[in-house]
Amino acid sequence: MSQVIEGHSHTRDLVESCDVCIVGSGAGGAVLAAGLTERGLDVVVLEAGGAFTSADFDLDESKAYSRFYQGRGTQATDDLAFSLLQGRSVGGSTTINWTTCYRTPDRILAHWAEHHGVEGVDSASMRPHFEAVEERLNIHDWPEELVNANNRVVLRGCRELGWEAHTLRRNVKGCANSGYCGVGCPVNGKQAMHRTYLPDALAGGARIYADVSAKAITWSGRRATGVDAEVLDRRSGRPNGIRVRVDAKVVVSSAGALHGPALLLRSGLDAGGKVGKRTMIHPVCAVTAVYPDPIRPWAGAPQSAASHQFVDRGEGKVGFFIETPPIQPMLGATGPKAFGEDMVAFMRHLENASTTLALCVDGLLPEDDGGVVTLRADGRPSLNYPTRPFLIEAIREAHMRMAELHVAAGATMISTLHATPTALAPDAIGTLADLPYGALEHTMFSAHLMGGCTMGTVVDSTHRFAEMDNLFVVDGSVFPSSLGVNPSETIYALARRATSFVADGVS
């Protein structure tokens, strides 16, 4: 069985040829690569990030974000209003994601069919794909007795208030419940792509190149001819001068949202100006609260409970769902805008602090077309994501509801991540209504990047790029809207569904 080929092993330019060249080895690329090799096709996968194993995951935040994340962990929207977390290694974002798995809600699939002309992606036709990936990735309910204190806050607060709340399903096997999913699983418990579908693809004969970044897809007329790429030096992240050329019968972009659209734009493929449009991010805001007893928000599975009480807030309103993040000190420190003594005081409470996130469901209102990816001068993606009034309304509401949740769960102090630090007693949370909300008024972020090559516009319902016969996009960038649930399982299942379309493209 072959292994991933790492960048440092190349001494000269490389020319490859194959049936299918897949750019990106994350949720979409990995499942697709495994499916295609199972059908006997010759597959090459190019991955800009490095190849890592549990031996590399020393759980040290000071190294992990710069090694395993896009932009060394500092990727953000154009105005820096939203930090954008996205993985960059063999396995893509699945290597460092928090393992929450949901099937796509029926109402979202119906919305895609009705408003975006998506065909054949309904719950009945998706069911076998969900079942197959759930089996391969061991996606199953996380028992309530293993839910950590941070997630128990969600369950307790919601139950107290009579709000909907549930435990989550996770793709883990032999999980040590340590809480470090976001910096790479040290015990191989997470059933991420580098542990599952990519080894399957390798066993099927795929060649996976790590540290190789695709510069452009080459094409002529309606046919893609291959991919031009360059080898990156893993430490500096910069090209080391060695070039890679892959000639392929079919090319697939699985580089994820932001970077997938950027690859197409760099290649001169913009689908009539549609590539990069409708980029969705599940805009996230957070509320932190201090409890009398220790929470230790750094320990235990990071996400194991959620509330969908407000996911559908009715016509004209943006919904949101509530989850939790893992709070190791570095990640926790990037949230508030405090500095100096205020910041030290904030961090001294960390052990007793619980943080909840509200993820806003963007792209469902008719007037909500999300953000736009364009290219920077150096060819990297730039995301302009405007914070429009309907989103600001949802963010305000989300702050107030999360504060209510924490009070019901027994918090003694509630803080928001506003520019002017706020710390409120439980009986003062009503004043949250008067605070300013929106870009740079408070910290916001996203770990769910979606859209930009939307199905129904940039690609058809078989993932085929509109202007080409043999170019496909198979990753989270094809979503026409956000989901209202965490996206990974939808991407796995769509990629499995896409396998036959891509295979047909070879012949």
Partner 1 sequence: MPLTRRTILKYGLAGAGLLAVGGVGLSLRGTIYRDPRRPLQTLSPRQFSTLAAIADRISPASGDAPSAWEVEVPEGIDELMSTKAPADAEELGMVLDLVENALVGLMFDLRATTFTGSSPATQDAVLAGMRTSSIAARRTMFHALRGLCCATYWSHPRAYAITGYRGPPDFGNVGVPAPIVATPPAPESTPEATP
Decide which of partner 1, ligand FAD, none touches 376; Cβ closer than 5 to 8 Å per partner kind. Answer: partner 1
Least distance to ligand FAD, CB of residue 315, Å: 27
Catalog residues that contact ligand FAD under the rule CB under 6 A. 23-29, 46-49, 85-89, 92-94, 96-101, 182, 213-214, 254-256, 259, 263, 303, 447-448, 475-476, 486-488, 491
Least distance to ligand FAD, CB of residue 43, Å: 14
Least distance to ligand FAD, CB of residue 95, Å: 8
Instruction: Using CB under 8 A, pick the residue from 15, 344, 425, 433 that binds partner 1.
Output: 344
Q: Which residue has the tokens 């719950």?
A: 123
Decide which of partner 1, ligand FAD, none touches 88; Cβ closer than 5 to 8 Å per partner kind. Answer: ligand FAD
- Of residues 75 through 104, those in contact with partner 1 by CB under 8 A are 78-81, 83, 90
Instruction: Using CB under 8 A, pick the residue from 162, 340, 366, 389 that binds partner 1.
Output: 340
CB nearer to ligand FAD: pick between 33 and 409: 33
Cβ-contact 335, 303 below 8 angstroms: no
Structure token pair of residue 41: 């096709």
Decide which of ligand FAD, partner 1, none touches 438; Cβ closer than 5 to 8 Å per partner kind. Answer: none
Distance CA 26, CA 192 (A): 9
Q: Which residues contact 156 (CB under 8 A, 6 or more apart)?
A: 408, 409, 410
3-state helix, strand, coil in the chain (%, to 5): 30, 25, 45
Does residue number 38 form part of the binding site for partner 1 (CB under 8 A)?
no
Q: How many residues does the chain have?
A: 507
Total binding residues toward partner 1, as defined by CB under 8 A: 83
Distance CA 14, CA 33 (A): 21
Read off φ and ψ for residue 256, nearest 5 degrees. Answer: 85, 170
CB nearer to partner 1: pick between 334 and 462: 334
Decide which of ligand FAD, partner 1, none touches 439; Cβ closer than 5 to 8 Å per partner kind. Answer: partner 1
CB nearer to partner 1: pick between 350 and 473: 350
Residue 76 DSSP one-character state: B
Report the run of H or E that residue 64 belongs to, with start and end.
helix 61-68
Read off φ and ψ for residue 259, nearest 5 degrees. Answer: -80, -30
Segment contacting partner 1 by CB under 8 A, of 69-77, 245-253, 257-265, 306-314 = 69-77
Distance, CA of 507 to chain centre: 32
Does residue number 162 form part of the binding site for partner 1 (CB under 8 A)?
no
Least distance to partner 1, CB of residue 298, Å: 6
The CB density around residue 2, as the number of other CB atoms within 10 Å, is 11
Cβ-contact 230, 239 below 8 angstroms: yes
CB nearer to ligand FAD: pick between 75 and 415: 75
Instruction: Using CB under 8 A, pick the residue from 161, 333, 365, 392 that binds partner 1.
Output: 333
Number of helices followed by number of strands (H, E) in the chain: 11, 23
Does residue number 2 form part of the binding site for partner 1 (CB under 8 A)?
yes
Identify the three-state secondary structure at position 228: strand
Decide which of ligand FAD, partner 1, none touches 355; Cβ closer than 5 to 8 Å per partner kind. Answer: none
